[in-house]
Structure 1
Amino acid sequence: MNVLTVTFNPALDLTVQAPSWHPGQVNVAAAAQTDAGGKGVNVAALLADWTRQSGEPLQVSASGFLGTGNAGPFEALFRERGIQDAFVRVAGETRLGLKIVDPEAGSTTDFNLPGVQVSAAQLDGLLGQLRDLAGTQDAAVLAGSLPPGVPAETYARVVAALRQSGVPFVAADTSGEALRRLLAAPTLPHLLKPNIHELEVALGRELPTDADRLAAARELLERGAEWVALSLGEEGAWLVWAGGAVKAVPPQVDVVSTVGAGDAMVAGLVSARLAGLGPAEALSRATAFAAGNITRLGAQLPPHDELMALHRQVRLQKGC
């Protein structure tokens, strides 16, 4: 099975552990590490992790825009995880993402920079590459924000192209204007994975109850999506499909960093779909992926035995 992830705006994530830090003051950090990241890159890394653990035959490729000035950490990650590097190189440096983790409060504060400037010609080059790759892919994942120079309708444009090319399963995880344009487009991805805040902003209305959330998800199903996964943070996540809805309540874990939790959920859903699992089983796997990821710094799964133990602790509740 071939999976392509597309990260238009990757980032070098500098994660600083700063117990009980305070804004506006001098703080002492306990440790720091830099990881090649961005949502689609994280999904690729987590899928590669799962392939090594489970033996499920996934060949993962990663594409998007990558600055030539600091591509080394990304290239090292791809070599280490066995990910095929299909990134289009552009002049400049890939942006830095600062993550301040307070392990005592169990919180993560993010500062995300805009990204490298992308020209219209470079965007056309990437879109041409994606069309060329589409014919060999069993799934494609578009994830993350858009860099300067890339129009907000790009997600909608690429999703339509991939679906028209016959990719069996297209997933998208974005936010803001890119998500709003995607939801308004005539062609939706097979899987949409917003969090509750992102969906409320994109739809322009609050979704305070489960009934409101399920109704909103079903509106998207009527317009062409097959699965809508709505993450709720500590509360868990809903997965809604034409035949029903299920909510997963995650196990309690010691949170190291919440960075990448949503990406882990996407990786779990995509791998489960390719393995032929049904929606409920897919959400259970995805919730275990997310729970395992937040016990680590960076995009990685815990050892297989630990991950399976988390999987057994996920509680599923049927929706109405």
Structure 2
Amino acid sequence: MSTPVVTLTLNPAIDQTVTLDALTPGAVHRAAGVRHDAGGKGVNVASCLADWGVPVAAAGLLGADNAAPFTALFAAKGIADHFLRVAGETRTNIKLVDRRAGDTTDINLPGLRPGPAALAAVEAALDGLVGDGTVAVLAGSVPDGLDPGAYARLIPRLAARGARVVLDTSGVPLARALAGEMPFCVKPNRHELEVWAGRRLTDRADLLGVARRLNAAGVGLVAVSLGAEGALFVTDREALHAGALEVTGGSSVGAGDAMVAGLVAGLHDALPLGALARRATAFAVAKLGRPGPHLPERTTVESIAAAVAVTPAEGWAAAASTPAPI
């Protein structure tokens, strides 16, 4: 029986977040706090979707030796656990939060090195979860030991079963995936879009043009996250810009994953593009400064969504190109 939403995380992590008053390279620090959270892009997306009330299953690969945080998260939020446990430990990602600077330094440690047999087992598990109308989220990096073209291989397999595939990755896995059968939706940030385009994209009109190229190449929905500049949402019928709300004093860790969850929640509810753009942006803004893969209460997210300004992308792009009056 198919599941409405399935997330895949091939390279999950336990996020160890260390909060410092200020980060000074070469100095000894006394941490203001530390916390550990089950993480990884697909896990974070599933967690935010569960907070919103969307039925979701999570699949992927976990180290059997330290799977307890993930098992506890899935049980607490009612997420259907279809992760394959393999020998070893899931990696740890260290996040150093600098309160003074307001930024985060990430140190991603090496993790599992699963082989092709593990990926084949995950694919078989997905076959039992995905059906006509399922939204399948492929998110995060591909671990050492697996073909970096794993997503490129999975996209046509899942699409053939009637799934709409949402892709959020980077580097070689993204390049390989976008060189084959296209996913239904992709969410690059500016840098990832620049890598695909092969050049810097400093002009708004250029950003919009490259997003439209991806759409013309077969991606049904292109969502480009632009940080403080908001986000673009492009289909073959419409292109919109969602403005970013001004938020101060919060870490942006996990905001991109929350935006993917908002996109998926919008697709699940068959929202028109404008409402989907507001929801995806609201999920990202609501996550700012919140530790762990969690959303605030629904009314808070809905209030943020109502305040998001959504305008035609053409006007947004043209406004930046208009010379200032002398």
Superposition TM-score tier, normalisation by shorter sequence:
over 0.9
Q: Indicate yes or no: 2:58 matched with 1:62.
A: yes
2:129 partner letter: L
Q: CA deviation at 1:276?
A: 1.4
Pick from 154, 157, 163: which aligns with 1:161? 157
C-alpha separation between the residues in 2 aligned to 1:22 and 1:246?
41
1:292 is matched with 286
Deviant stretches of 4+, over 4 Å: none
Are the counterparts in 2 of residues 12 and 94 from structure 1 also a CA contact under 8 Å?
Answer: yes
2:204 is matched with 210
* The 10-residue stretch of structure 1 (66-75 or 299-308) with the greater mean CA deviation from structure 2: 299-308
Q: CA deviation at 1:202?
A: 3.1
2:5 is matched with 3
1:124 is matched with 120
1:14 is matched with 16
Q: CA deviation at 1:207?
A: 1.3
2:41 is matched with 39
In the superposition, the TM-score normalised over structure 1's length comes to 0.94
Q: CA deviation at 1:299?
A: 1.2
Give the match's secondary structure for 1:205: coil
C-alpha separation between the residues in 1 aligned to 2:229 and 2:132?
37
Q: Indicate yes or no: 2:177 matched with 1:182.
A: yes
C-alpha separation between the residues in 2 aligned to 1:226 and 1:202?
17
Q: CA deviation at 1:137?
A: 5.9
1:312 is matched with 306
Q: CA deviation at 1:135?
A: 2.2
Percent of pairs identical after alignment? 47
Q: Could you report, residue by residue, the CA deviation over 1:83-113 in whole angstroms, capped at 9, with x for unpaired residues?
A: 0000011110000011111233221111112
Q: Indicate yes or no: 2:112 matched with 1:112.
A: no
Q: Could you report, residue by residue, the CA deviation over 1:178-226 in whole angstroms, capped at 9, with x for unpaired residues?
A: 11111111x1111100111112123322111111111111111112111
Q: CA deviation at 1:136?
A: 6.5
- Residues 273, 255 of structure 1: CA spacing in aligned structure 2 closer, same or farther, 3 A cutoff? farther
Are the counterparts in 2 of residues 177 and 202 from structure 1 also a CA contact under 8 Å?
Answer: no
1:170 partner letter: V
Any gaps of 5 or more consecutive residues in structure 2?
315-326
C-alpha separation between the residues in 2 aligned to 1:228 and 1:248?
13
C-alpha separation between the residues in 2 aligned to 1:233 and 1:44?
22
Give the match's secondary structure for 2:144: coil
2:188 is matched with 194
C-alpha separation between the residues in 2 aligned to 1:103 and 1:312?
30
Q: Could you report, residue by residue, the CA deviation over 1:12-56 in whole angstroms, capped at 9, with x for unpaired residues?
A: 0001111221122112211010000000000000000011xxxxx
Pick from 85, 93, 118: which aligns with 2:89? 93
Pick from 210, 219, 222: which aligns with 2:213? 219
Q: Could you report, residue by residue, the CA deviation over 1:266-302 in whole angstroms, capped at 9, with x for unpaired residues?
A: 1001111111111111111111110010131111111
1:138 is matched with 134
Give the match's secondary structure for 2:263: helix
C-alpha separation between the residues in 2 aligned to 1:212 and 1:278?
25
Q: CA deviation at 1:149?
A: 0.8
- Residues 266, 47 of structure 1: CA spacing in aligned structure 2 closer, same or farther, 3 A cutoff? same
C-alpha separation between the residues in 2 aligned to 1:166 and 1:305?
33
Any gaps of 5 or more consecutive residues in structure 1?
52-57
Larger Rg computed on CA atoms:
2
* The 10-residue stretch of structure 1 (110-119 or 5-14) with the greater mean CA deviation from structure 2: 110-119
Are the counterparts in 1 of residues 14 and 92 from structure 2 also a CA contact under 8 Å?
Answer: yes
C-alpha separation between the residues in 2 aligned to 1:145 and 1:215?
27
Q: CA deviation at 1:309?
A: 2.2
1:54 is matched with none
1:44 partner letter: A
1:177 partner letter: V
2:32 is matched with 30
Give the match's secondary structure for 2:56: strand
Q: What is the number of equivalent residue pairs in this alignment?
A: 312
Q: CA deviation at 1:259?
A: 1.4
Give the match's secondary structure for 1:206: coil
1:303 is matched with 297
